[in-house]
Chains A and B, each alone.
Chain A
Amino acid sequence: MPGLLEIKNLSKSFDATKVINDFSMEVVEGTLCCLVGPNGAGKTTTMDLVTGRIKPTSGTILFAGEDITAKHEHVIARAGIGRKFQVPAVLKNLTVRQNLEVAYSRQTNPFWNLFKFRKAGLKEKLDEIATLAGLSARLGEQAGILSHGETQWLEIGMVLMQEPRLLLMDEPIAGMTEGEIEKTARIFKDLRKTATLIVVEHDMGFVREIADVVTVMHMGSLLAQGTLGEIEANPRVRDVYLGEKEAA
């Protein structure tokens, strides 16, 4: 069975530097794949490429069998890929509620939306997600004043509102307390029933908790792939990424 997302021989250069170098990976539907690697390995860049934020120098990206390589961001998003950014990106001048409402993007056509005043199913969904993200009490507030951790939660909430088939999570737990990390792990594991996830994280404890597969990138290329155990045993990975202490 082919993967939901297939990245084939992807390369990306900025000016002279090759940031992604002949990188391939495949994510099977219904799994949770953790993408790890040193700072600057190209994880975020890979997400940029998948979501159409930048265009690759070469290579193809297939989503559900369809080539999405040169597509626009919104087309890719509509196809069912949602993304949480590494630097949390929420709509700062809108309220938390409005943020979630906008993210509920079943109808995206501007002309249809001109005549749309109420969205079916919005209220229930919104309540559900807000509770999940712990933001129920802050729905009326402007998103710009949230603390870092709250912003992270809001953005996760927005991605969930989108109901995508594939979720790209770039460092979702940065700045969360340990309790919240556990909660996030639970949510992610739950999500796996209905969606596919790619999670970028440096927190190995979290990765251990959630990952079905771990993919390691280094200098824009695939370094290793396998279960966490296999990865942790890989000397190259320990060398460039984990360090002796963590692996021990």
Chain B
Amino acid sequence: MSALLNFDNVTSYYGATRILKDVSFDLEDGQCLCVLGRNGVGKTTLMRTIMGLTDRSTGAIRVNGAEIGGKPPHQRAPYGIGYVPQGRGILSDFTVRENILLGTFARADKAPEIPEICLRIFPYLKDNLERRAGLLSGGQKQQLAIARALAVGPKILLLDEPTEGIQPNIVHEIGEILKMLNKELGISLILTEQHIKVARKLGDAFLMVDNGRVVARGPIAEMTDELVERHMTI
């Protein structure tokens, strides 16, 4: 059986600069993969490469066996990929509702409704659907970004530091939610996290990146302190 998402020798560029170098990995169905590494090693670039937002990439990227590497970004999301970018990417002139609706454009079924799960998880959003998203506080925006990605009805959720800037009890909650999405709804996750603790708790497997290359990988249990020490401290 092939993996849900498969990277085969992917190299990714900004302009002429190689950022990711020969990255290969598999994401199994229902798995939660944590991508770890220092600042600027290429974690975000990895996510953007999946979405087709880097300038150019070589190698094969497959979802359920289908090659998406050569496709333009807008044709990738419909394969069931929901993206929560770093910096959140909220459209400030849209209302909260419109932002979530944006997610529905990538739905396979094209249904223009907000899935109820989005609002169930984030009560603040439910109460403020008509607010202009640009006015939300940082944490509120982060919640909105997750809700929007869920509106895609994703099989794979890409989360680029999703807990950044979120108040502790909601960090906890988001942790629970992600676990729920992963375990109960069977959504596979790719998660970048700086907090080893969170990674250990949520992850099934890990991918350690350094200077654009994968330097270690395996089940989360194999992520030793020594590895962390070597690749994540300065």
Given contacts A148-B86, A177-B194, contact A40 B166 (CB under 8 A): no
A9-40 interface bits toward B, Cβ cutoff 8 Å, 1 = contact, 0 = none: 00000100000000000000000000001111
Question: Are the C-beta atoms of A178 and B194 separated by less than 8 Å?
Answer: yes
Question: Are the C-beta atoms of A180 and B39 separated by less than 8 Å?
Answer: yes
The residue that B39 contacts in the complex, of A38, A145, A175, A242, with Cβ under 8 A, is A175
Question: Are the C-beta atoms of A38 and B167 separated by less than 8 Å?
Answer: yes
Question: Are the C-beta atoms of B232 and A179 separated by less than 8 Å?
Answer: yes
What residues of B have a CB within 8 angstroms of the CB of A242 in the complex?
168-169
What residues of A have a CB within 8 angstroms of the CB of B136 in the complex?
40
Question: Are the C-beta atoms of A86 and B165 separated by less than 8 Å?
Answer: yes
What residues of B have a CB within 8 angstroms of the CB of A87 in the complex?
87, 138
Q: Which B residues between 73 and 101 are near A, CB-CB below 8 angstroms?
A: 86-87
What residues of A have a CB within 8 angstroms of the CB of B216 in the complex?
none
What residues of A have a CB within 8 angstroms of the CB of B168 in the complex?
202, 204, 241-243, 246
Is A212 located at the chain interface by the 8 A CB criterion?
no
What residues of A have a CB within 8 angstroms of the CB of B186 in the complex?
none
Q: Interface residues of B, CB < 8 Å — how many?
A: 34
Is A183 located at the chain interface by the 8 A CB criterion?
yes
What residues of B have a CB within 8 angstroms of the CB of A163 in the complex?
none
Given contacts A40-B124, A176-B194, A178-B195, contact A148 B137 (CB under 8 A): no
Is B16 located at the chain interface by the 8 A CB criterion?
no
Is B56 located at the chain interface by the 8 A CB criterion?
no
Question: Are the C-beta atoms of A177 and B38 separated by less than 8 Å?
Answer: yes
Is B170 located at the chain interface by the 8 A CB criterion?
yes
Q: Give Cα A176–Cα B138 distance, bound, in whole angstroms.
A: 17
Is B204 located at the chain interface by the 8 A CB criterion?
no
Question: Are the C-beta atoms of B194 and A246 separated by less than 8 Å?
Answer: no
Q: Give Cα A175–Cα B41 distance, bound, in whole angstroms.
A: 13
Given contacts A14-B135, A175-B161, A243-B169, contact A146 B40 (CB under 8 A): yes
What residues of B have a CB within 8 angstroms of the CB of A240 in the complex?
169
A87, A179, A241 — which one has the most chain B CB atoms within 10 A of its CB?
A179
Q: Which B residues between 163 and 178 are near A, CB-CB below 8 angstroms?
A: 164-173
What residues of B have a CB within 8 angstroms of the CB of A155 in the complex?
none
The residue that A180 contacts in the complex, of B142, B164, B169, B234, with Cβ under 8 A, is B234
Is A79 located at the chain interface by the 8 A CB criterion?
no
Q: Which A residues between 127 and 176 are near B, CB-CB below 8 angstroms?
A: 134, 145-150, 152-153, 171, 174-176
Sampled A-B contacts (19; CB under 8 Å):
A38-B139, A38-B167, A38-B170, A39-B138, A39-B143, A40-B137, A40-B139, A44-B137, A86-B165, A147-B44, A148-B39, A148-B161, A171-B165, A175-B86, A202-B167, A241-B167, A241-B168, A243-B169, A245-B169
